[in-house]
């Protein structure tokens, strides 16, 4: 696999030198390969959004190096090239829509890049198809559900032909149906080869990733497959984090003396393990 993102010893300090100084990233090193599906978890204020904003150069490090596709983010010449690789989706679906019609909204990015109008049409219809929103192309975005709005935001990034999407708690304001729509879309795009980096406080979403990165008080504390991370129930709880319901329940049942494997993180696995007992 090819390297997409590489951070070496990144520090981000807000209000440096002032009394209100905050160290939001404290020596973070991390490599993300093309095609990965990474979930970033951590309690409020741990530095997740600060990290996310570095991926498409909304922020640059106070020190250390941050590279996207081999381009350093602190070189101003690289900003627009990097933003053609990495797109961002934020938490609030209503703050991201700029046009009065869905297809115009999706066209906004490529229009700003000066893409010819024929090609924009192709890109927009392709992007809407990939997020399963074709039938809403002519709709007003204000009539859409939160999950549909987030998928329009994702389509806007696809229309820019980005190969990486970073989403900062994209499902936090959605109902369970909207959350599932967005997660299903992300998995489908991942299958198509798009790199997905999602920040979430829903552990059931993080379990679906290939890799889970845990941020705690500005530092990267764990990094591994969901099964490696979520079986550390005690350590995660000590950081104030939840674990998937199945991992938690399995841990409690183990404490009660049930002989369950340490590897359980999904409800299906817990169900299977309980059936084997009886």
Residues engaged in binding ligand ADP (CB under 6 A): 14-15, 22, 24, 42, 44-50
22 binds, among ligand ADP, Mg ion, none (CB under 5 to 8 A by kind): ligand ADP
**46, 47, 49, 185: which one contacts Mg ion (CB under 5 A)?**
49
Per CB under 5 A, 200 contacts Mg ion: no
Closer Cβ to Mg ion, 103 or 242, answer by number:
242
Q: Least separation, in Å, of the C-beta of 276 and ligand ADP?
A: 39
Q: What residues pair up with 195 in beta bridges, in sequence order?
A: 164
Closer Cβ to Mg ion, 172 or 274, answer by number:
172
Could you give the CA distance from residue 192 to residue 214 in angstroms, rounded to a whole number?
26
Closer Cβ to ligand ADP, 45 or 140, answer by number:
45
Contacts of 160 (CB under 8 A, 6+ apart): 83, 84, 87, 109, 110, 113
Could you give the CA distance from residue 60 to residue 84 in angstroms, rounded to a whole number?
17
24 binds, among Mg ion, ligand ADP, none (CB under 5 to 8 A by kind): ligand ADP
Q: What residues pair up with 223 in beta bridges, in sequence order?
A: 213
Q: DSSP labels for 184-251?
A: HHHHHHHHTT-EEEEE-S-HHHHTTSSEEEEEETTEEEEEE-HHHHHT-HHHHHHTT----HHHHHHH
Could you give the CA distance from residue 186 to residue 167 in angstroms, rounded to a whole number?
10
130 binds, among Mg ion, ligand ADP, none (CB under 5 to 8 A by kind): none
Closer Cβ to Mg ion, 49 or 96, answer by number:
49
Interface with Mg ion: number of residues (CB under 5 A): 2
Closer Cβ to ligand ADP, 66 or 136, answer by number:
66
Q: Least separation, in Å, of the C-beta of 69 and ligand ADP?
A: 24
207 binds, among ligand ADP, Mg ion, none (CB under 5 to 8 A by kind): none
Structure tokens at 98: 């700029």
Positions in the binding site for Mg ion (CB under 5 A): 48-49
């Amino acid at each position: 696999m090819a390297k997409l993102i590489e951070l070496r010893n990144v520090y981000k300090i807000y209000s440096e030198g002032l009394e209100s100084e905050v160290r939001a990233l404290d020596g973070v090193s991390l490599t993300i390969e093309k095609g990965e599906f990474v979930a970033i978890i951590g309690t409020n204020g741990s530095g997740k959004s600060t990290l996310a904003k570095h991926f498409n150069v909304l922020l640059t490090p106070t020190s250390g190096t941050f590279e996207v596709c081999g381009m350093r983010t602190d070189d101003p010449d690289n900003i627009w090239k990097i933003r053609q690789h990495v797109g961002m989706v934020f938490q609030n679906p209503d703050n991201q829509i700029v046009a009065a019609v869905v297809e115009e909204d999706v066209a906004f990015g490529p229009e700003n890049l000066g893409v010819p109008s024929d090609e924009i049409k192709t890109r927009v219809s392709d992007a809407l198809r990939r997020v399963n929103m074709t039938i809403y192309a002519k709709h007003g975005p204000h009539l859409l559900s939160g999950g549909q709005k987030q998928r329009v935001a994702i389509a806007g990034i696809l229309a820019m032909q980005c190969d990486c999407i970073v989403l900062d708690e994209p499902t936090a304001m959605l109902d369970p149906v909207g959350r599932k729509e967005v997660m299903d879309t992300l998995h489908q795009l991942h299958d198509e080869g798009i790199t997905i980096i999602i920040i979430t406080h829903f552990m059931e979403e993080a379990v679906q990733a290939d890799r889970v990165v845990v941020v705690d008080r500005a530092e990267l504390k764990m990094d591994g497959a969901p099964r490696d991370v979520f079986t550390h129930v005690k350590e995660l709880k000590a950081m104030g984090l939840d674990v998937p319901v199945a991992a938690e329940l399995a841990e409690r049942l183990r404490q009660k003396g049930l002989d369950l494997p340490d590897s359980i993180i999904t409800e299906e696995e817990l169900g299977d393990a309980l059936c084997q007992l009886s």
